[in-house]
Every structure is written in C-alpha cells, then in structure tokens.
Amino acid sequence: MIGKDIQLAARYLKADKLVAIPTETVYGLAGNALHEEAVSKIYTVKNRPVFNPLILHLGSREAAESYVRKIPELAQTLAKHFWPGPLTLILEKANHVPDIVTAGSSFVGLRVPNHPLTLELLKNLEFPLAAPSANPSGYISPTSPKHVQDQLGAQIAYILDGGPCQIGVESTIVKVVGEEFLILRKGGIPIEEIESLIGPVKLHTHNTENPDAPGMLKSHYAPSVPFVVGNLNQLVIEYQTKSIGIIAFRNPLAGIPEERQIVLSKTGNLEEAARNLYKGMRYLDTLNVEIILAELLPEFGLGRAINDRLMRAAA
C-alpha cells in the first residue's frame, strides 16, 4: 500500500513490519534497528548478503550520540554542517547496537535523512530505522514510490509516499578511523565540500575481497541488460547491429530514436543529472533493448558520484 499516513507507518514499524521511507537520496527499506526480527526481514526481502551492514537513520544529530562510542570533533563538524542531509558517518558503535545491523562490524553507519515526512516519522518513534536502499540487492536504487512498489510492493507493509527523491543518488559515506577520514562511497555530498570543511580525505571506494563497504562490490546498481560506458559516437558504431538504449549527459545522439535515449540534463546541470539517473536507467531497462550505452560526466561535484554508479552498472 502506498500513502502519506505517518501514523500508520509508525504503527507498522512498531510492530516490526517493514515500511519504505522517502529520503532526499533514494527510498529506504526501513525496520526497527533495535529489533533483530525486523532487521532480519530487511535482509530477506532485499535478498541481501548478511555480511553487508545497514545504515541507521535518526531524527536528529543529538540522537546519533547514543549509538556510537564517541563522535570525534571533525566528525561533529561534518554532522553539524551536513545533517539532515546525504552524509553517512561510520563510527565505532555503542554496545547495544545489534550485530545484525552492522554485520558483526564494530563500526556503525549513521545518517539523518533530509525529508520532512521521514523526519516527522522518526520523531514518532523511540528507535532508529535500519534502512538500505529499497531495491533487490544489486539492482538500481529507487527514487520514487512506484520504483519500490514495482519490485518490493508485495513484501512490505507500507510505502510512505514522499514524492520523487530530490538528490537521486545515495549518501556519501565517510568512515572515521582514528584521525583518518575515508570516503567509502561517493554520493550526494561532493567530496570537495567535505574537504573544504575538514581538509584532505582518503578515497577508499574500491572493491576488494573483503571490502570495507561491502555494498560497494564492483558490480552494483546494475540494470538487467548489458551496460557499456565510453564515447557514445564510437560505441553506437561498435554496437550498430544491436538495439541500443542511450544515457547521454547533455545531447541526444543523431540516428537513434529519442524514446530510447535518456538525456540527463540539457543544460549540463549535475544536480539535475543525478535526479534523472536512476529513473532513466530503470526506464531503459523496461524497453527490452539489447544493450545500454552511457557516457561519463565531468569528474567533479555530483559528477563523481554519477560516474561511479555508471562504472559499477557496467562492471
């Protein structure tokens, strides 16, 4: 069921049921983070590997303090500046945060999402919400209630309708280890903005055998058809025998039907491009094309998060 009833959403969550929640980045699949029963449902519904931890969503910066050992000063600076907003901080967890949320790690991810409905919902709850993106594991994140409904609707109690997501790519993840700040995922807050506040950070977004952000395995955010990133003019020649879908930054390609092309932002605006990215990928995935071709965006600001997702979709 889809609706805007915060009280109903709260009742379901208090009964350990799952509710999809709107955030500024993508929709989340939420459950009571302090109840193992609710959290284990999240893993089941998403078909998510149990080694991949979940982010805690909180209603305020003050609420964050009870779920971590401490918030170092520069992390406080980031929280003060960016919460509510698309920043996830990974800090040493407090003992009472269940292991199932952190997949056994002694670190926990926290964020205060910037969406009025979800902030209001969190105020009505006495517990934080564990919430990964509300998509089947490995697929494209949802940026509208309908995206959630299409894939997970039958398995969750309620979808809280907060409209289309305003940012459209996931939060930037920053892990704090001692004095070091590691970027585990490029996202809705550009790295440049983080560095302008706290100085240089380390990029740590690559996949390894034992990844620090297990959700950042190389192949991710992927549509169900083959996906190739490169120079569009060259790629359309290379794949001319196939039916092609296109993701272009500013301009559609001549010679390909417009209804099979997604232009992310005609004016070259990276924020607009981020908002259109996942919707566009999902749309092309419904067309039954044989291959999707995409070009990279300028590598700064939100362009870095968009490029990261395009590369992962292609991996």
Task: Tell me which residues touch Mg ion (CB under 5 A).
Answer: 133
User: Please, are residues 68 and 91 in contact by the beta-carbon 8 Å criterion?
Assistant: yes
Q: Show contacts with ligand TXA in window 193-212 (CB under 6 A).
A: 212
Among 9, 33, 90, 152, which residue interacts with ligand TXA (rule: CB under 6 A)?
90
Burial class (CB in 10 A: 0-12, 13-18, 19+), 286: exposed
Tell the smallest beta-carbon distance from residue 238 to ligand TXA (Å): 32
Q: Which stretch binds ligand TXA (CB under 6 A): 83-91, 146-154, 248-256, 258-266?
A: 83-91
Question: Which is closer to ligand TXA, CB of 31 or CB of 109?
Answer: 109
CB atoms within 10 A of CB 123: 12
Residues 274-313, interacting with ligand TXA (CB under 6 A): none
Question: Which is nearer to Mg ion, 222 or 247 (by Cβ)?
Answer: 222
Distance of closest approach, residue 141 Cβ to ligand TXA, in angstroms: 6
Tell me the C-alpha to C-alpha distance, in Å, between residue 65 and each of 33, 93, 168: 15, 10, 28
User: Residue 107 CB, nearest distance to ligand TXA (Å)?
Assistant: 4
- Using the minimum distance from each CB to ligand TXA, give the nearer residue, 26 or 310: 26
Tell the smallest beta-carbon distance from residue 96 to ligand TXA (Å): 15
Which pairs from 213-218 meet CB under 8 Å and 24+ separation?
213/173, 213/175, 213/184, 213/185, 214/49, 214/51, 214/52, 214/53, 214/103, 215/52, 215/132, 215/185, 216/184, 216/185, 216/312, 218/312, 218/315
Binding of residue 102 to ligand TXA (CB under 6 A): yes
* φ, ψ dihedrals at 244, nearest 5°: -120, 140
The DSSP bridge partners found for residue 160 are: 3
Select from ligand TXA, Mg ion, none the partner in contact with residue 23, using the beta carbon and a kind-dependent cut-off of 5 to 8 Å. Answer: ligand TXA
The encoded tokens of residue 253 equal 């390609």
Residue showing the smallest CB distance to Mg ion in the complex: 133
* Closest C-alpha among 107, 87, 111 to residue 97: 107
Say which entry of ligand TXA, Mg ion, none residue 40 contacts (CB below 5 to 8 A, set by partner kind). Answer: none
Binding status of residue 166 toward ligand TXA by CB under 6 A: no
Distance CA 149, CA 300 (A): 33
Task: State yes or no: residue 28 binds ligand TXA (CB under 6 A).
Answer: yes
Distance of alpha carbon 245 from alpha carbon 261, whole angstroms: 6
Report the site for ligand TXA in 220-259 (rule: CB under 6 A).
none
Give contact residues for ligand TXA (rule: CB under 6 A).
23, 25-26, 28, 52-55, 86, 88, 90, 102, 105, 107-109, 111, 113, 131-133, 170-171, 173, 184, 212-216
